[in-house]
Structure 1
Amino acid sequence: MGTLWFGVTLLICWISDAIALRDVQLIAPSAVKLGDTVLLGCKWTLEGNETLYSVKWYRGRQEFFSYLPKEYPFTRIFAQPGIDVDVSRSTSQQVVLREATRALAGRYRCEVSADAPSFHTQVRSAYIHVVELPPDKPTIKAEKGWYASGDSLRAQCSSPPADPPANLTWLLNGRDIQGKPIIQQRILPSPVVSIDAPHNFRSTATPGDEHNNIIFSPWKAFGPFVDTIQEGELLPSQDTVVLPSPRHHDSSIDEDATDPMPTVAASNKVASISQLSFMVRPDSFERGQLRLTCISTVHSVYSEQAELVINEERPQIASVLGTRDSAGGPVAASLLLLLVSCMFTMPDFILRNILR
């Protein structure tokens, strides 16, 4: 009986320890622009008499910042390539990184540990991409400025070089293109390409794909930029010690922490090109015009668009006297005027003979 009660007591203590540290959250942007300041947040809840033992930050398996409230100095920085910690703004619940470089990209982890007796630990992770944006907005051009129902419309959208390449999306009158649009794509170092060279493009349209308007998706969709961290207490620089990077990694970190350390900072910017071809329908026009829109996006940090308005081509009614653009128009009009004038000046007997 005593053994049973002892086991129950241990179980209750274990459950209490397990839930003493809860609601650990890592708040981070999915992507940041080159040169941006990066704000990473780590939130948690300690219940009961539990106190905080440590908060440690890792990129991959390498620790770069830690907060230990019961030690002095209570913040420590471990030198890592591409990571520049802003000590004055980094606290127990956030760390700030200055001037993002390409080497900053990777998987980041926040490890929160409660103090004795539980020493319960929870880890959360998120991947951060560093992107280089296009220097300008996208552009659209079409083969001609007038189209009629039944015509095949071909247009091209070009977005300047970016890393990763911009994702291009087509819209017609602000909506998805109905029917079966043929969408072709290409990425290249320069955005200059002729609209008369479709053989250089690769089609991504599939039979029966009624709404295939995503032109180029070089990366998967990521969550929105999260920037909800409140400004915490500022730490004086004398309360921080800078240490060399540990030679061995912490094996307690998640097993999926296999991201290689970034070593190359070269730019990989390329342009995105998209060609669109579809059959113009009567409902393609609104008040005699159709509006093509090309939206260029890079992760969640860049979105620009270009718009092209095309007029509806309608049948022209031919003039009896011809048009001013016709070479024979003035001559025909003059001859007709001369004939009418002669009819009014002829003697009556001649006119009657002509009309018989």
Structure 2
Amino acid sequence: MLEPNNRYISWLKPGTVLLTLIIFTIPECLSLRLTNMTAPLIQDPRENMNLFCEFDMGGEDLYAVKWYKDDHEFFRYSPAGQQQLLQFQVLGVHVDVSRTKCSMTSCNLVLNDLSRTFSSGAYRCEVSTEAPTFRLASQTHNITVAVIPRNNPTIEGMKDRYVVGDYLEGSCTSGLGDPKPIISWYLNNKPVEKNFIRELTQRPTPYYQKDGEVKLESTTVQLRLPLDKKIIGNKTITYLELACLQSSDMTAAAASLFRNTTKIIALTEEPLINNQKLYGFFGASSRIQNSSLLMFIVMLCFIY
């Protein structure tokens, strides 16, 4: 049977183990780390786009900060190079060098003249150290360039009261956007069937920019839904909620939803309304009505 090695056991004291872990961990703590990258999820092409990258060199020297779009390099910051700022031609990417600021710990890019078609994509910030380690650290963000309507859709033409047999008629119009906004109607939180709605034609509004034009479009959808007892049931008075939902034809992560609602009263039948003119002649409800009838008789006697 083997005897335990007392010298080996004494070496594995708790303090020694902790010191060993610290020794092996120090290089990792001091190595290059990309601590933060910020980029918009959805970017309006009519505005400038800001890309920000922050890093911790861990005691090493910065070689370069490189920016890529879809794996194509379009900008480089090299503090020790003959030319610190370099640009490379990539379709849809235009760096405003006068407003771009890079340092030994961060790099903030400003892009302008964006295009919905060519500026969308995966943007990557890559930081590298000098020799002899040549370490790399990077982060990537996907950016969708699009114009999202900023306001709720507009509902027009709806009345506040309907009777069974009437048609719920009205229209809903979205704000301007690119891609073209989508309009959906809901009655009491349930989607209205497509055969009761109709999209009206709208002319796009062009917005010109460096890489072409953006066609901003709005969507108008008309509603014509018959009000029957299936909707209101057996109640004499029912309160209904019609909602118009405005969405964008993009990924779920980038979708933007706005809504507008209107509340209406649905009746099983039109309530009786007193006709004051007829009732004034043939009813007996007030002294004024009786006086009007008496004057009418006197005038007839005077004529004849």
- Could you state the TM-score of these two structures normalised by the residue count of structure 2? 0.60
Partner SS for 1:66: strand
Partner SS for 1:88: helix
Identity of aligned residues (%): 28
Range with greater deviation from structure 2 (18-27 or 85-94) = 18-27
Range with greater deviation from structure 2 (67-76 or 152-161) = 152-161
Find the aligned partners of 2:44 and 2:38 in 1 and give their Cα distance: 17
Tell which has more relative contact order, 1 or 2 (C-alpha 8 A, sep 6+). 1
Q: What is the CA-CA distance between 1:100 and the residue it aligns to?
A: 2.4
Matched, 1:296 2:243: no
Find the aligned partners of 1:150 and 1:15 in 2 and give their Cα distance: 79
Q: What is the CA-CA distance between 1:110 and the residue it aligns to?
A: 1.0
Q: Which runs of 5+ in 1 are unaligned?
A: 1-11, 193-262, 342-356
Find the aligned partners of 2:165 and 2:55 in 1 and give their Cα distance: 61
Q: 1:262-281 to 2 correspondence within 5 Å? A: 265-274=212-221, 279-280=231-232
Find the aligned partners of 1:294 and 1:54 in 2 and give their Cα distance: 51
Range with greater deviation from structure 2 (299-308 or 102-111) = 299-308
Q: For residue 222 of structure 1, what is the aligned residue in structure 2?
A: none
2:134 to 112, 119, 143: 119
Matched, 1:60 2:75: no
Q: Which runs of 5+ in 2 are unaligned?
A: 1-22, 205-209, 295-304
2:115 to 85, 101, 113: 101
Partner SS for 2:80: coil
Q: 1:8-157 to 2 correspondence within 5 Å? A: 16=27, 20-47=31-58, 49-90=59-100, 91=102, 92-102=106-116, 103-133=118-148, 138-141=153-156, 144-147=159-162, 153=168, 155-157=170-172
Amino acid at match of 2:156: K
Instruction: Kindly indicate whether the alpha-carbon contact (under 8 Å) linking 1:189 and 1:270 is maintained by their aligned counterparts in 2.
Output: no
Find the aligned partners of 1:304 and 1:332 in 2 and give their Cα distance: 55
Instruction: Kindly indicate whether the alpha-carbon contact (under 8 Å) linking 1:188 and 1:272 is maintained by their aligned counterparts in 2.
Output: yes
- Could you state the TM-score of these two structures normalised by the residue count of structure 1? 0.53
Q: What is the CA-CA distance between 1:62 and the residue it aligns to?
A: 1.8
Matched, 1:159 2:174: yes
Partner SS for 2:276: coil
Q: 1:163-178 to 2 correspondence within 5 Å? A: 163-168=178-183, 177-178=188-189
1:324 to 272, 276, 280: 276
Offset from partner CA, 1:10-44 (integer Å, 9 cap, x none): xx889936971224432100122122111101122
Q: What is the CA-CA distance between 1:134 and the residue it aligns to?
A: 5.1
Find the aligned partners of 1:189 and 1:114 in 2 and give their Cα distance: 57
Partner SS for 2:218: strand
Mark the CA change 1:123 to 1:136 in structure 2 (over 3 Å): closer, same or farther: closer
Mark the CA change 1:19 to 1:187 in structure 2 (over 3 Å): closer, same or farther: farther
Mark the CA change 1:169 to 1:98 in structure 2 (over 3 Å): closer, same or farther: same
Instruction: Kindly indicate whether the alpha-carbon contact (under 8 Å) linking 1:31 and 1:131 is maintained by their aligned counterparts in 2.
Output: yes
Q: What is the CA-CA distance between 1:109 and the residue it aligns to?
A: 1.2
After TM superposition, where is structure 1 displaced by more than 4 Å over at least 4 residues in a row? 12-15, 133-137, 148-155, 167-172, 185-189, 273-278, 280-284, 290-293, 297-307, 311-315
Find the aligned partners of 2:166 and 2:82 in 1 and give their Cα distance: 76
Partner SS for 1:111: strand
Larger strand percent: 2
Find the aligned partners of 1:148 and 1:308 in 2 and give their Cα distance: 17
Amino acid at match of 1:296: Q
Q: For residue 310 of structure 1, what is the aligned residue in structure 2?
A: 264
Q: What is the CA-CA distance between 1:57 and the residue it aligns to?
A: 0.5
Offset from partner CA, 1:164-207 (integer Å, 9 cap, x none): 122546678xxxx34x4425477775189xxxxxxxxxxxxxxx
Partner SS for 1:162: coil
Instruction: Kindly indicate whether the alpha-carbon contact (under 8 Å) linking 1:140 and 1:158 is maintained by their aligned counterparts in 2.
Output: yes
Find the aligned partners of 1:55 and 1:30 in 2 and give their Cα distance: 22
User: Cα RMSD between the aligned structures?
Assistant: 4.6
Mark the CA change 1:186 to 1:79 in structure 2 (over 3 Å): closer, same or farther: farther
Find the aligned partners of 2:120 and 2:245 in 1 and give their Cα distance: 26
